Each structure stands twice: as structure tokens, then as C-alpha cells.
Amino acid sequence: MRSWIRGNLMAYYYDGKKTNSYALIRNTLALVATVSTTDAILGRWKAPRRWSGPAATPG
């Protein structure tokens, strides 16, 4: 996971040198995906009631 983020950051840096709109869009989407994934993990920590397994389902 850490190497995946590092690879995205390196690609973001190197593609930023070339003015390539496709690479900019792709790296922006990758950055948004990384941020949303981190936000989902942190949100799961803050709100464990949403992810407590089968015990949360009534019945």
C-alpha cells in the first residue's frame, strides 16, 4: 500500500513535468481515490457502529 502511494506520487511528479492532460486527469483521480480510501478507513475508526459485523444486524 505504501509503495503504491509512493508510485502514484512519483508518477504525479514526473507527469507534472510533461504537460499531459490525460496524465493530469489520471493522477488527480488516483489522488482522489487515495484520499477517499484513507478517509473511509479513518471514518471506520471514528464510527465503529457502521462496521461492527453481524451483531449490528437485528434478527
28 grid coordinates: 488527480
5: CB partners within 8 A, 6+ apart: 34
Q: Quote the pTM value.
A: 0.38
Compare 5 and 30 and report the one with higher pLDDT. 30
Please, what's the b/e burial string for 9-19 (b: 16 or more CB within 10 A of its CB; e: otherwise)?
Answer: eeebeeeeeee
pLDDT band for 59, please (50, 70, 90 cuts): very low
pLDDT band for 48, please (50, 70, 90 cuts): low
Give the model confidence (pLDDT) of 10-33 as tens digits. Answer: 666 665 565 567 777 888 888 888
Q: Domain ranges in the chain?
A: 1-33
